[in-house]
Amino acid sequence: MQNPSYVFAETLRDGTAVTVRAAGANDGPKIRRAFLNLERDTVYTRFFGYKADVNDAELGRITGADFERAVALLVTIGAGEDEVVIGGASYFVSGSAAAAGRSAELA
């Protein structure tokens, strides 16, 4: 299944309307922008070290998720050109466990 049309609207406790959706091939710039808006300590906590940017290989892993061995979801506000990524989650089936479907790396 290549990049399914997973889209789910939700409202946060504070009343903010968000969309949870599958990451797509064109989301790299939005994901990079979200990363660049993170505080330095947040980057350290999430990536176990300091880094100034998310690299193209990392973006490719997220935006190229096949939704069989890898799943990547984004949480966004706004729509179209005004859409902003405010969160995300992904998992990647790891190693030989892929055959058994019992193990994944979560991020």
CATH of the domain at 54: 3.40.630.30
Got the DSSP string for 1-52? --S---EEEEE-TTS-EEEEEE--TT-HHHHHHHHHTS-HHHHHHHHTS--S
Residue with the bigger pLDDT between 98 and 66: it is: 66
Does residue 16 carry a pLDDT above 60? yes
Residue with the bigger pLDDT between 98 and 58: it is: 58
Asked if residue 1 belongs to a domain, the reply is: no
Decide: 54 and 62 in contact? Cβ < 8 Å: no
pLDDT, residue 18, reads: 98
Torsion of CA 59, 96, 3, 74, to 10 degrees: -50
pLDDT tens readout for residues 40-76: 998 898 888 899 999 999 999 899 988 888 889 999 9
Asked if residue 88 belongs to a domain, the reply is: yes
Query: pTM to 2 decimals?
Result: 0.81
Asked if residue 85 belongs to a domain, the reply is: yes
Average pLDDT over residues 12-37: 95
Asked if residue 2 belongs to a domain, the reply is: no
